[in-house]
A and B are shown apart, each in its own frame.
Chain A
Amino acid sequence: MALLERSRWYDLARSTNWTPTYVREDEIFPPDMSDVYGLGMDAWETYDEPYKVSFRDYVRVQREKDTGVYAVREALARSDYYEKADPGWMTVMKAHYGGVTTVEFASASTQARMGRFGKAGGLRNMGAFGSLDEIRHTQTQLVFSHEHLQRGNDPEQFAWSHYGNRTNNWVNLAVRHTFEDIEHTRDVVETAVMTSVFEVMFTNLQFIGLAADAAKQGDHRFSSLIQSIQSDEARHAQIGMEVMRLMVREGRRAEVQRLVDISFWRNWRAFAPLTGIAMDYYMPVERREHSFKEFMEEWVIAQFDRTIGDLGLARPWYWDIFLDELEWFVHGQHLGVWLLPNTVWWNPPCGVTPAERDWLEQKYPGWNATFGRCWDVITKNVLDGKLDKIQLEIFPLICHMSNLAITGIAGDGFRVKDHYLDYEGRRYHFGSEVDRWIFLQEPNRYKDYKNILDRYMDGTIQPPTNGGFLAYMGLNEHSWGRDPHNWQWNDRFRARERRAS
């Protein structure tokens, strides 16, 4: 074929700015939507996206990818893998689908918003491709999760994949608050930068870590789906990287640093309960690849260091706080979810049989003397048949930023702190100094928010009972979680006790 190389026409396809005269430029590109930093058209003309693709190549490559994913699905359609899979693995999938699927769909609008209000032609084109990518991610995961409905095992929990983020479940509130802050409520510049931190660093956790774990579990259907999704990320994740470079060129390094600092932390707090608990507690221990901490170090921190190094940025000011939390944050979050399984749409395994505790101690030295102490009390109550004592009847304070319970270090290392703030006559509670700092970066953005505890206290949740609470969060007896192993895990403690005696 004697077709032109892409490089011959590519620049023309992105030279699409002109000087409007029938309306004003700031009507087509309102600063609040396009560029709150006022970088100017001359700066935007220097935007050069590193990953270039043509529509022709895009549809061909994406078609091939979809063929691959759907072929694997077809090949495994008759497999009874899911009938025999460990309940812990099924839990991981339910949690993933319920939290992630429609976040992808919302991201289609994030990308399209850059496609509309971005001031650089290349950025707008990449946003258009990115938007299509996110529709792909949404629709593929909907197809795959939909098929779980018909198998008859906890279908309502898989149905959360479709409607979870339309509920006021506390987890979905955390998801929405986080991703609305990062992706949906800022101008193109801040959106591009913050979304890139999410896409370039943190999606690796869920989509590379999860894919590897799925393969190890023998769930090749899910593994191929997830890997295929992640293969799109590199391209559209670059949109914001180039915005960061442009801002640094324009002397706005401090602003980029601030945006990166905010986004990194918000992502950390969102992914730790989602991915961290899955990796450290839900994944069947015989096949665990890595701890959450190890995965963060290899994939997120290493990637982050490379990225900020390239841009001449620094590690966030709170890096020591973050490294400290890597050791303990996920463990308190897991306890909270396990003790209130009927507030989530999956069945959380306890993840603390003797073998699992040994694994946890190895990966997080000192675990037995901290969180292990809580589990000692809980386990003894379970073994003694005192199941009423593992009821959680006294509820945690909820962080006004992350929407997670305010947790800390338990047991011998006891350290639990409410990083509260009094602002304009109202007290806000935060799970970390960093969440508090984020609030103070732009109080008007966050100050009107009512978290789920506020809604309980102010009468929004009616009736103000446990039943009312669960109904407000969209759960019922078909969708809320329970112990997936039917308490059989405590048999392993009895076995160890018998061996010891």
Chain B
Amino acid sequence: MPMAEAKTKALRTWPHLAARRRRPSEYEIVSTNLHWRTQFEEYSELSPSLPINKWYRKYVRESPLRHDDWDGFRDPDEVTYRTYTVAQDGQEAYVDGLLDEHDELGHDASLPDEWVPVLARLYTPGRFMLHAVQMASAYIVIAAPASTVTCTAAFQMGDALRWVARLAYRTAELAEHRPGFGFAQQERRVWEQDPAWQGLRELTERALVAYDWGEAIVALNVVLKPAIDEAFLRQLAAAGRRHGDTLLGLLADAQLRDSDRSRRWTKALVEYARQHPGNDEVLARWAEKWVPLGDRAMETFAAALPESPDAGATAVRDARAFRTSLGFTV
């Protein structure tokens, strides 16, 4: 048995961070190199024949998106659980304030009659889509080969949970304040059957089953979420402001703040991926597959917006601008 002497040499930080000569941030201390599922030959110590071991081999280990060190990815915002709850507590207090104030103003009661059915058709049924974003973000949590990607995806999942809850809240309010329009009753039927939603529903369903982890990033963060941002948030809100619905726009702005955070880490991840030879082609291939679905989704939805002839084209253009900033050419 070794009789080691008392050790007095301190470590500045975890060994994997010690090579760099600067202090690590709290984010780096708590977010980096935490997965064991990527460390060994197999996903788990249990038999390679198990369905989930095969799943990981196929959709993560053998993904065409490659990198020598996914663990090197960093969220540019360096969000940790602690900073996330602090920030979102503040943001939620703000949204509580919006809802309370607009309730006191009798906002819903004063909405014009021609606008209310638009909300029942094109707003409240969106909760299925937003929940699917939550599910798809959860998939990135479990599939990502880097703990830093897992963490940012978890906070994105939290954001989605947040906005499903807020939309459910608004649905309940509208059902109470404007009865007879089917709020809190018709949403599933509308989501499943109304032509306006079918582009987004198709995109959503297909994104949910994009199981290659890299393709999941493209389908969700490069195409679906931006389509939701542009069509469902920005263009619907613009139409709302023309019809006296100020609350919708304010809530959309608050939701877009969360979306912008997602865009920042998505951009960082795509740039990181592009470092590795061959990934440009892989990303381009996925973009070619998913972008048309996204464009059609936005156009179909926006076409249903009242007095908004340019909404579809604007949404498509703005989604493309985001993709261009990520180095995509479609």
Contact = CB atoms under 8 A, between A and B. Distances in A.
Interface in B1-46: 1-4, 6-16, 26, 29-31, 33-37, 39, 43-46
A59 interface: yes
Interface string B189-207: 0011000000001100110
Nearest to B125: A18
Nearest to B155: A132
B4 A108 contact: no
Nearest to A24: B209
B85 interface: yes
A461 interface: no
Nearest to B164: A13
Interface string B42-68: 011111111111010000000000000
A135 B70 CA distance: 19
Interface stretch (A287-295, A365-373, A442-450): A442-450
B89 to A, nearest CB: 4
A9 B44 contact: no
Nearest to A12: B168
B111 interface: no
Contacts of B206: 22-23
B162 interface: yes
Contacts of B169: 4, 8-9
A1 B168 contact: no
A12 B184 CA distance: 7
Interface of A: 1-4, 8-10, 12-13, 15-16, 18-23, 27-28, 32-33, 54-56, 59-60, 62-63, 66, 70, 102, 105-106, 108-109, 112-113, 115-116, 121, 124-125, 127-129, 131-132, 135-136, 138-140, 142-143, 146, 149-156, 159, 162-163, 165-166, 173, 176-177, 180-181, 184-186, 341-342, 387, 390-391, 444-449, 477-478, 480, 482-483
B158 to A, nearest CB: 6
B168 A9 contact: yes
B265 to A, nearest CB: 15
Contacts of A146: 13-14, 29
A150 B96 contact: no
Nearest to B100: A1
B184 to A, nearest CB: 6
B257 interface: no
A2 B100 contact: yes
A16 to B, nearest CB: 4
A74 B141 CA distance: 31
A13 B168 contact: yes
A446 B49 CA distance: 10
Across chains A and B, which 9 residue pairs bring their CB atoms closest together, nearest first? A12-B168, A139-B30, A112-B141, A16-B131, A13-B168, A32-B51, A152-B10, A9-B172, A115-B138
A56 to B, nearest CB: 5
Contacts of B33: 162-163, 166
Given A16-B127, A146-B13, A150-B11, A55 B165 contact: yes
B135 A124 contact: yes
B231 interface: no
B77 interface: no
B73 interface: no
B84 to A, nearest CB: 8
A233 to B, nearest CB: 16
B284 interface: no
A185 B57 CA distance: 13
A480 B44 CA distance: 25
Interface string B161-180: 11011001101110010000
B150 interface: yes
The interface centre, meaning the residue of A70, A106, A162, A176 with most chain B CB atoms within 10 A of its CB, is A162
A350 to B, nearest CB: 12
Contacts of A128: 134, 138, 157-158, 161
A21 B47 contact: no
B214 to A, nearest CB: 17
Given A102-B36, A106-B36, A150-B11, A180 B2 contact: no
A163 B16 contact: yes
B45 A391 contact: no
B138 A184 contact: no
A129 B138 CA distance: 11
Given A19-B192, A121-B131, A449 B46 contact: yes
Contact of B52 (A60, A149, A184): A184
B138 A342 contact: no
A60 B92 CA distance: 9
B138 A113 contact: yes
Contacts of B162: 55-56
Given A19-B192, A387-B1, A477-B2, A54 B165 contact: yes
B30 A149 contact: no
Which of A112, A143, A159, A391 has the most B CB atoms < 10 Å from its CB?
A112
28 contacts: A4-B173, A12-B172, A12-B184, A13-B164, A16-B127, A16-B132, A18-B191, A18-B192, A22-B205, A55-B161, A55-B162, A108-B141, A108-B150, A109-B141, A115-B135, A115-B138, A116-B136, A128-B158, A131-B138, A136-B81, A139-B30, A139-B31, A150-B10, A155-B11, A156-B7, A156-B11, A184-B52, A448-B48
Contacts of A149: 10-14
A154 B82 contact: no
B157 A56 contact: no
A451 to B, nearest CB: 9
B96 A1 contact: yes
A185 B142 CA distance: 12
